[in-house]
Amino acid sequence: MSDEQPVYSEKVMEHFRNPRNVGEMESPDGIGHVGNPVCGDIMELYIRVVDHVITDARFKTFGCGAAIATSSMVTELVKGKTIEEALELSNRAVAEALGGLPPIKMHCSVLAEEALKSAIEDYLQKHPKPDSA
Amino acid sequence: MNRVYLDYAATTPTHPDVVQAMLPFFGESFGNASSLYSYGREARAAITAARSSVARLIGADEDEIVFTGGGTEADNMALKGIAFAADGKYNHIITTSIEHHAVLGSCEFLENLGFHVTYLPVDKYGLVAPDDVRKAITDNTLVISVMHANNEVGTIQPIAEIGRIARDAGVYFHTDAVQTAGHVPIAVNDMGIDLLSVSAHKLYGPKGVGALFVRTGTRISPLIHGGAQERNRRAGTENLAGIVGFGTAAELARGTMTEEATVLGTLRDRLITGLLERIPEAQLNGHPTSRLPNNVNVSIDYVEGESMLLHLDMEGICASTGSACTSGSLEPSHVLLSMGLSHQLAHGSLRLSLGKWTTGEDVERVLETLQEIVSKLRAMSPLYKAPGRSAQ
Ligand SMILES: Cc1ncc(COP(=O)(O)O)c(C=O)c1O
Ligand code: FES
């Protein structure tokens, strides 16, 4: 309780205050569910995929300000990306898009990256042969 | 926006009367208490007066008060000072798993030097069983350290009973009274206390000054060497204005403590009842009755503490949490875990601590605001299953 508290950027606070794409998705094409081994928080990410492109993403997160802001940012960043492009999205890129995170909060962005990867894996498992319409 | 400060357990505002009492000691009465001439005499007299005010607050003798740089130093001095002065045979310390880090850190340090430490468990309310203390005592036990009240959950320990056990066994008894001094009556003699830590900034005094009560006849080594101040127990030029402020705060507290506890106790209970009524799946942490008059600690399931604090802060409300996400170690509160809470419930813990300037309106505002915040956070929590179907 007495430890130094991290200071969040404006952008982080903005996403924390007004998180984008919150909530579950009706019959998503992929669901990612990950737990944070560092502090024990949980993130769920849902994606809609059309023609190999992520057209929509939503999330639910039980975690700190940074976890909520990175979840929100990751759902924004992946929209419009192909599966391959989305797989390359790193936690650093998410953190950078938020104007940086305090070092002690970098692990929360790792959680967001993993949630996305897990949602894509789930999608690929359910759709072994991506339709090439 | 008016801010609502509900973190008095972290620190209190310095009382305006305390500030007034301190000011001359930055100005015309700036002397070094060790000096022979008039300035020195004035400083010495002021320190003596403050010492007797602090002594009176806890029922001690003036000579038994050692001023320190705060509660943390007092805890360090109590444990290390006793340990360093002990004969080799006495190498066992008994404490609890819910102590402040000032005590736990000192114990860990002493373990590295070869001391053995027993960390007693607590029950679900955070209470230590006196019988566990009795059973833990061995022929080698040097000191028992059990805090008077816990800073996170507010549970007040059966200190007098533990004091009796310590006395019967001929073992020193230290208590960290940082959260109780000036808020709950303390009588070191009736309670069998040999060493007691106090911090000024928790009772409307300034930060960076505190005291260790050391019962006459107790063998203790100083931690800081290089001067005869504090009767050779704590070297260094005294924090004159700080000590004066501490004395004034102690004097004020002696006069207002009983009434303040009644007022705050009522507000506390309104807040607890209101929170549990308005927020389903929330629970009170700490003891329902053996509890600091100003402490509210609840766990709100499915939400995380830092998120709650950030939202409360946006609404001008200042509070605290035991969530892993706000601790430097990313571990949840050791106190809540010791009481058997799951990580998830420790995550959702919220401490609201009241004080002299808390009003009924503040309580109402927190109740309304928090209810909204919790709904918002639960709506985005993957752990929360929308109500309606299940009984609420
Ligand atoms: C129970 C307890 N012990 C010790 C301390 C440390 O006191 P200080 O802040 O004066 O070092 C605190 C306050 O943080 C406390 O609540
Ligand atoms: S989710 Fe726990 S620190 Fe960010």
pLDDT at A131: 52
Say whether pLDDT at A6 is over 80.
no
* Atom of ligand 2 minimally distant from the CA of A63: 1
Question: For B4-10+257-379, CATH number?
Answer: 3.90.1150.10
pLDDT at B391: 37
Residues with a CB atom less than 6 Å from ligand 1: A 2; B 70-72, 75, 100, 102, 147, 151, 176, 178-179, 199, 201, 210
How far A100 CA sits from the closest chain B CA (Å)?
17
Of B326, B329, B380, the CB nearest to A5: B326
Dihedral of CA atoms A118, A123, A126, A130 in degrees, nearest 10, equals -140
pLDDT at B392: 33
Q: What is the DSSP letter of A50?
A: E
Q: What is the ipTM of this complex?
A: 0.91
Q: Considering only CB atoms, which chain A residues are within 8 Å of B301?
A: none
Residue B156 φ then ψ, to 5° = -95, 130
How far A68 CA sits from the closest chain B CA (Å)?
8
CA B298/CA B275 separation, integer angstroms? 8
Equal CATH topology for B4-10+257-379 and B17-253: no
pLDDT at A39: 85
Mean pLDDT across chain B, nearest whole number? 96
pLDDT at B385: 82
Of B314, B330, B381, the CB nearest to A38: B330
pLDDT (tens digit per residue) in A7-64 = 899 999 999 999 999 999 999 999 999 997 778 889 999 999 999 999 999 999 999 9
The residue behind tokens 């080698």 is B140
Q: What pTM did the predictor assign? A: 0.94
pLDDT at A128: 81
Domain B17-253 is found in CATH 3.40.640.10: yes
Question: Which residues contact residue A64 at a Cβ distance below 8 angstroms, ignoring those fewer than 6 apart?
Answer: A39, A41, A105, A108, B304, B306, B307, B323, B325, B326
**How far lies B84's CA from each of B115, B116, B236, in Å?**
11, 14, 20
- Partner A, chain B 191-250, Cβ-Cβ below 8 Å: none
Per-residue pLDDT tens, chain B, 392 aa: give them. 789 999 999 999 999 999 999 999 999 999 999 999 999 999 999 999 999 999 999 999 999 999 999 999 999 999 999 999 998 899 999 999 999 999 999 999 999 999 999 999 999 999 999 999 999 999 999 999 999 999 999 999 999 999 999 999 999 999 999 999 999 999 999 999 999 999 999 999 999 999 999 999 999 999 999 999 999 999 999 999 999 999 999 999 999 999 999 999 999 999 999 999 999 999 999 999 999 999 999 999 999 999 999 999 999 999 999 999 988 888 999 999 999 999 999 999 999 999 999 999 999 999 999 999 999 999 999 999 866 544 33
CA A113/CA A120 separation, integer angstroms? 11
The residue behind tokens 């007691």 is B196
The ranges assigned to domains in chain B are 4-10+257-379, 17-253
Neighbours of B6 (CB within 10 A): 25
